[in-house]
C-alpha cells in the first residue's frame, strides 16, 4: 500500500460548509417594550394601592370622636361606634357590667376582628367623652 492509495484522505469529496453569517446585535426594541410594560404595571399598582387607602376605613378615632364607656354609654352613643348597630348595642347593654373592653368578646356577634376595629372607640372606665 503506497502513498497513492491513501490519497483519498486528502481529496475533498464534499463542498466546504458555508459560513454561518454573524448574528446582528440584539435590537433594542424588545428591551424597550419590556421596560415600558414593567413601568406601566408598577405605576398602575402604585396608583391602585394609593386609591385603596381611601376605600379601607381608618379604625383610629379622629379628633373630636366620641369615646364611649361600655358600662355607662347610652344606646345612641354605642350605635355611634363603627361596627355597632341597634341590636348589638342592645346586647352590649344587656350584658353589663364589664371590667375590660376585652370582655365584649362574650357578647354574641362580637369577634376578635370586630373588637379590634371598635377598641379605639370604647373604654370600660371613666366618662363617655370626646377625644
- Per-residue pLDDT reduced to its tens digit, 84-99: 999 999 999 999 999 9
Is the pLDDT at 77 greater than 80, yes or no?
yes
| DSSP designation for 123 | E
Q: Do 123 and 91 fall into the same domain?
A: yes
Q: How many domains does the chain have?
A: 2
pLDDT of residue 63: 62
pTM of the model: 0.54
| Residue 126 banded pLDDT, cuts 50, 70, 90 | confident
Q: Do 40 and 91 fall into the same domain?
A: no
Region of residue 33 (left: phi > 0; alpha: psi -120 to 50; beta: else): alpha
Indicate which CATH number applies to the domain containing 93.
Answer: 1.10.150.320
Q: Do 71 and 109 fall into the same domain?
A: yes
Q: What is d(CA 64, CA 99) in angstroms, rounded to the nearest whole number?
A: 25
pLDDT of residue 127: 82
Amino acid at each position: 500500500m503506497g502513498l497513492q492509495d491513501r490519497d483519498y484522505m486528502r481529496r475533498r469529496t464534499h463542498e466546504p460548509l458555508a459560513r454561518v453569517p454573524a448574528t446582528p446585535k440584539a435590537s433594542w426594541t424588545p428591551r424597550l417594550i419590556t421596560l415600558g410594560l414593567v413601568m406601566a404595571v408598577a405605576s398602575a399598582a402604585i396608583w391602585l394601592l394609593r386609591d385603596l387607602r381611601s376605600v379601607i376605613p381608618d379604625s383610629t378615632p379622629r379628633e373630636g370622636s366620641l369615646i364611649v364607656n361600655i358600662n355607662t354609654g347610652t344606646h345612641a352613643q354605642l350605635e355611634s361606634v363603627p361596627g355597632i348597630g341597634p341590636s348589638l348595642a342592645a346586647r352590649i347593654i344587656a350584658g353589663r357590667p364589664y371590667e375590660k373592653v376585652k370582655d365584649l368578646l362574650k357578647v354574641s356577634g362580637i369577634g376578635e376582628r370586630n373588637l379590634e376595629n371598635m377598641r379605639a372607640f370604647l373604654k370600660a372606665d371613666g366618662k363617655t367623652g370626646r377625644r
